[in-house]
Amino acid sequence: MLAAERREHLLDLLARTGKIVAKDVAADLGISEDSVRRDLRDLAAEGLCQRVYGGALPVSPAVVDYGARQAVGPDGKRKVASVAAAMVRPGSSVILDGGTTALAVARALPKELACTVITHSPTIATALIDHPRAEIFVLGGRVFKHSAVTCGAAAVEAAQNVSADLCLLGVTGVHPEAGLTTADADEAAMKRALSARAADTYVLASSEKIGTASPYRVLPWEDVTGLITDADPRDMVIDQLRALGVEILAAQ
């Protein structure tokens, strides 16, 4: 393995998993920990990673945040993401919301799948630049830092000019009575605008969000085609949603 290749591998690992453990990488690649440490030191000097005791972290806390949040429920998110990615038909267009679950969907899109992805998340757009066949369209506007997506009037207006077959929406709360909810009013409006531009809207929600509600309503259940979740299909809340006419797609 070439030295430059190793560095690429480290950056890739950092981007995908959100962290690097020097010891593990050394064992994986069959090289000494010293080499890994030297590489990390160089990468840190170039501002490409942040050196920490035992390994390295991404430079941007936002990305660290992604890593951390992914660490909370990586299995659930991955399962949900792979089911969602499988729903994207070749040649179709999909509106992809922001958030860690949607990011996982973007990464789960098969390399050979040609499709158009419309997103208001710069992070997701960046992640998809590597995808050989995806056409990417970014909805512009002011960037909301806590969620790393564009929101507000300009973004909503930009959304009016697109339309898609499918909208995959992430939310913070999924509740039979409250509907889909989120923690920010502007975000809720943006998600509403996104959903309105697609023929079908599916909600991505790992199990810990089921049965919870946040302050701002995004959509009532009438406007939702289905729910993709890793929660138990026999869960009581899930049953209630099914009774409301929501298609339930169980991940795993």
Partner DNA sequence: CCCGTTCTTGCACGTTTTTGCGTGTTACTT
Partner DNA sequence: AAGTAACACGCAAAAACGTGCAAGAACGGG
- What is the DSSP secondary structure assignment for residue 140, as one 8-state letter? P
Query: Phi/psi at 72 (nearest 5 deg)?
Result: -60, -50
Q: Which string of x and - marks every residue 5-44 that binds DNA (by CB under 7 A)?
A: -x--------------xxx-------xxxxx-xx--x---
Strand order in the sheet with 216-219: 173-175, 179-182, 216-219
**What H or E segment, with its residue span, contains residue 182?**
strand 179-182
Q: Could you say whether residue 3 binds DNA (CB under 7 A)?
A: yes
148: left (phi over 0), alpha (psi -120 to 50) or beta: left
- Token look-up 């959903």 returns 195
Interface with its own copies in residues 118-157 (CB under 8 A): 122-123, 125-130, 135-143, 145, 148, 150, 154-155
CB 137 within 8 A of CB 175: no
* CB nearer DNA, residue 18 or residue 98: 18
Q: Rounded to an integer, what distance in angstroms lies between the CA atom of residue 229 and that of residue 198?
A: 20
* CB nearer DNA, residue 12 or residue 33: 33
- Residue 142 interface partner, choices DNA, its own copies, none, CB cut-off 5-8 Å depending on type: its own copies
Interface with its own copies in residues 21-40 (CB under 8 A): 21
Query: Phi/psi at 49 (nearest 5 deg)?
Result: -155, 170
The nearest distance, CB 34 to DNA, in angstroms, is 4
- Residue 226 interface partner, choices DNA, its own copies, none, CB cut-off 5-8 Å depending on type: none
CB 133 within 8 A of CB 115: yes
* CB nearer its own copies, residue 3 or residue 236: 3
Q: 133: which 2 tokens? A: 């066949």
In the complex, which residues of this chain contact DNA (CB under 7 A)? 3, 6, 21-23, 31-35, 37-38, 41, 51-55
In the complex, which residues of this chain contact its own copies (CB under 8 A)? 2-5, 7-8, 11-12, 15, 19, 21, 46-48, 50, 52-55, 57, 59-64, 67, 70, 74, 107, 122-123, 125-130, 135-143, 145, 148, 150, 154-155, 158, 161
